[in-house]
């Protein structure tokens, strides 16, 4: 792999809430705070195989199919779970939307590598799953190349230079009033998704496909549309009040009659298609400088934000060392701080390593008890200690310590759900001292977590861009959005 607009389309680029630890449900939303792992996932795709006699969007019996055997929901609007498996021998793409997984497969078939495919998946998800991610957000990418090199690309959102703790309105007890940190201009961070994907493509892509190639599937989806799923419908419905409060939001996500789209409707986002086309033609600079950046700055500040053109232009991707650990001889490579995910996955595995998990039944009470208690400990640590190391001290070596994990494991008793005594990780520190996945035939593997931190991010969409804003503030630990709903798509 290589190392090395005038009127902005309402791109559905919801500017993200970047605080990413425990994405809280916006106050005005009545949609569920979290959905199940398979909820929006269509069945897996195997190249060369399709159901005969099925037309796109057609109802077949009591189910809806996209023409290739992808059963999404029944005639009552309930999501279906059947037919989601697939086999493959060459490569794999797993994401929260089947359209996005297909986009990645297209790029792999065209000669791209896992990084190229991941970029295509990222942009397609931003179109089809705008409630969860998009070009107004940010995220993390872990790349493990076929030659053994591993790199972590941090493209999370960043607070504007003028942000200070004093910008929040506080009550008499010193608490932030209302939802300033999750909705509106003050909650918005400088988006990193576009710059991050460009960086990954230019430095780790195969060179066999173009930047226009990897954005083409997303542009097509935005221009020609896709079917509204039950999950997307629920999130749109639950955000209706916000669409009234932020008219640009409603202009994009309400239909021509000013009403919510329904399950099975075709949703098109032509302004987003225009925005993505501009990015495809001119690169990330078209997003971070010039007319598009100015529109972002103006709209964010219209709702109380503190953006400047310099904030946009000066955004930089950060290259970091991944978090690493082991589990029974297997190496674990995951997201480092400021993501809390990787560290706590390793911590949980360190704790469970002290139990004979293999002798327990797959869904046995014993096994589920150990796992749930281990993760209870991890989330306690997450709440107590984790944050962005640029602003807070985090005892990361203690969190990852196998010796401390052994002490924590000793507190787990069979059949007892307990509250645990805190074992300080600081004593294990030394002074020197956080999704979708793609793998290709060569052995390159990519894992990406990207977010707008809350349903439709900060609800702020720059006029004629449809991009949702993101937030990330130094005045509180980052929060993370709910786990991505996964759906597999493979080809032979």
Digit-coded pLDDT (tens) for 170-183 = 999 999 999 898 88
59: part of which helix (H) or strand (E)?
strand 59-60
pLDDT 10s digits, 433-459: 228 999 999 999 999 999 888 788 888
Our measurement of the distance from residue 3's CA atom to the centroid of its chain's CA atoms, rounded to an integer in Å, reads: 25
- Domains in the chain, please, with CATH? 13-318+442-491 (no CATH), 340-428 (1.10.246.130)
Q: Is the pLDDT of residue 192 over 80?
A: yes
pLDDT of 98 reads 85
Write the DSSP assignment of 62-108 as a string of letters: TEEE-SSS-EEEETTSPBP-SS-----SSEEEEES-HHHHHHHHHHH
pLDDT of 356 reads 94
Using CA atoms, how far apart are residues 185 and 156, in angstroms rounded to an integer?
Answer: 17
Cross-strand partners of 74: 63
More confident position, 71 or 433: 71
Q: Is the pLDDT of residue 48 over 80?
A: no
pLDDT 10s digits, 312-358: 999 999 999 898 999 999 999 988 888 877 888 999 999 999 999 99
Average pLDDT over residues 366-383: 90
Please confirm, yes or no, whether 433 is among the known catalytic residues. Answer: yes
Q: Is the pLDDT of residue 308 over 80?
A: yes
Using CA atoms, how far apart are residues 159 and 157, in angstroms rounded to an integer?
Answer: 7
165, burial (CB in 10 Å: exposed 0-12, middle 13-18, buried 19+):
exposed
pLDDT of 398 reads 84
Using CA atoms, how far apart are residues 398 and 353, in angstroms rounded to an integer?
Answer: 17
More confident position, 71 or 203: 203
Q: What is the pTM of this model?
A: 0.75
Average pLDDT over residues 65-92: 71
The tokens for 6 are 């005038």
Cβ-proximal residues to 244 (8 Å cutoff; 6+ apart), any chain:
250
Using CA atoms, how far apart are residues 469 and 297, in angstroms rounded to an integer?
Answer: 11
- Poorest-pLDDT segment among 70-79, 196-205, 479-488: 479-488
pLDDT of 432 reads 33
pLDDT of 474 reads 33
pLDDT classification of 483: cutoffs 50, 70, 90 = very low
Catalytic residue among 6, 229, 326, 433: 433
pLDDT classification of 110: cutoffs 50, 70, 90 = very high
HSE value, Cβ hemisphere, 13 Å, CA-based, for 48: 5
| DSSP label at residue 209 | S
Q: Is the pLDDT of residue 415 over 80?
A: no
Using CA atoms, how far apart are residues 222 and 271, in angstroms rounded to an integer?
Answer: 8
More confident position, 405 or 119: 119
pLDDT of 394 reads 83
pLDDT classification of 53: cutoffs 50, 70, 90 = very low
Candidate ranges 40-54, 120-134, 372-386, 430-444; pick with highest mean pLDDT: 120-134
pLDDT of 387 reads 82
Residue 15 · residue 469 · CB < 8 Å: yes
Rounded to the nearest integer, the mean pLDDT of the chain is 79
């Amino acid at each position: 792999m290589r190392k090395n607009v005038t009127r902005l389309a309402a791109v559905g680029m919801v500017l993200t809430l970047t605080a990413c630890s425990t994405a809280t449900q916006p106050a005005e939303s009545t949609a569920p705070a979290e959905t199940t792992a398979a909820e929006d996932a269509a069945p897996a795709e195997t190249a060369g195989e399709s159901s005969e006699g099925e037309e796109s969007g057609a109802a077949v019996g009591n189910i809806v199919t996209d023409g290739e055997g992808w059963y999404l929901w029944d005639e009552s609007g309930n999501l279906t779970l059947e037919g989601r498996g697939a086999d493959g021998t060459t490569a794999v793409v797993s994401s929260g939307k089947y359209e996005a997984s297909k986009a990645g497969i297209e790029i792999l078939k065209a000669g791209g590598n896992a990084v190229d495919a991941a970029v295509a998946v990222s942009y397609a998800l931003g179109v089809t799953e705008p409630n969860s991610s998009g070009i107004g957000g940010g995220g993390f990418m872990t790349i493990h190349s076929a030659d053994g090199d591993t790199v972590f690309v941090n493209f999370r959102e960043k607070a504007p230079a003028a942000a200070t703790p004093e910008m929040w309105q506080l009550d008499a007890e010193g608490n932030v009033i209302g939802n300033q940190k999750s909705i509106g201009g003050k909650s918005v961070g400088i988006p990193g998704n576009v710059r991050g994907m460009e960086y990954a493509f230019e430095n780790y892509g195969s060179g066999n496909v173009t930047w226009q190639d990897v954005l083409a599937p997303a542009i097509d989806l935005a221009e020609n549309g896709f079917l509204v799923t039950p999950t997307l419908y629920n999130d749109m419905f639950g955000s209706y009040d916000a669409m009234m409060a932020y008219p640009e939001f409603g202009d994009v996500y309400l239909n021509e009659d000013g009403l919510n789209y329904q399950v099975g409707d075709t949703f098109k986002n032509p302004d987003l298609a225009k925005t993505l086309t501009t990015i495809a033609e001119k690169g990330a600079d078209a997003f971070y400088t010039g007319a598009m950046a100015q529109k972002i700055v103006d709209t964010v500040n219209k709702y109380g934000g503190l953006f400047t053109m310099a904030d946009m232009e000066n955004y930089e991707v950060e290259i970091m060392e991944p978090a690493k650990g082991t589990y029974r001889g297997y190496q674990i490579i995951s997201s480092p701080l400021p993501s809390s995910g990787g560290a706590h996955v390793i911590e949980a595995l360190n704790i469970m390593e002290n139990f004979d998990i293999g002798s327990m039944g797959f869904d046995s009470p014993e096994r589920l008890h150990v796992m749930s208690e281990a993760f209870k400990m991890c989330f306690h640590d997450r709440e107590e200690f984790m944050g962005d190391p640029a602003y807070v001290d985090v005892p990361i070596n203690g969190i990852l310590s196998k010796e401390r994990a052994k002490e924590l494991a000793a507190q787990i008793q069979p059949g007892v759900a307990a509250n645990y005594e805190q074992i300080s990780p600081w004593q294990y520190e030394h002074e020197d001292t956080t999704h979708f996945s793609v793998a290709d035939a060569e052995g390159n593997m990519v894992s990406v977590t990207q977010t707008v931190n809350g349903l439709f991010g900060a609800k702020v969409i720059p006029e004629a861009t449809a991009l949702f804003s993101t937030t990330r503030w130094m005045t509180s630990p980052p929060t993370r959005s709910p786990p991505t709903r996964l759906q597999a798509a493979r080809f032979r």
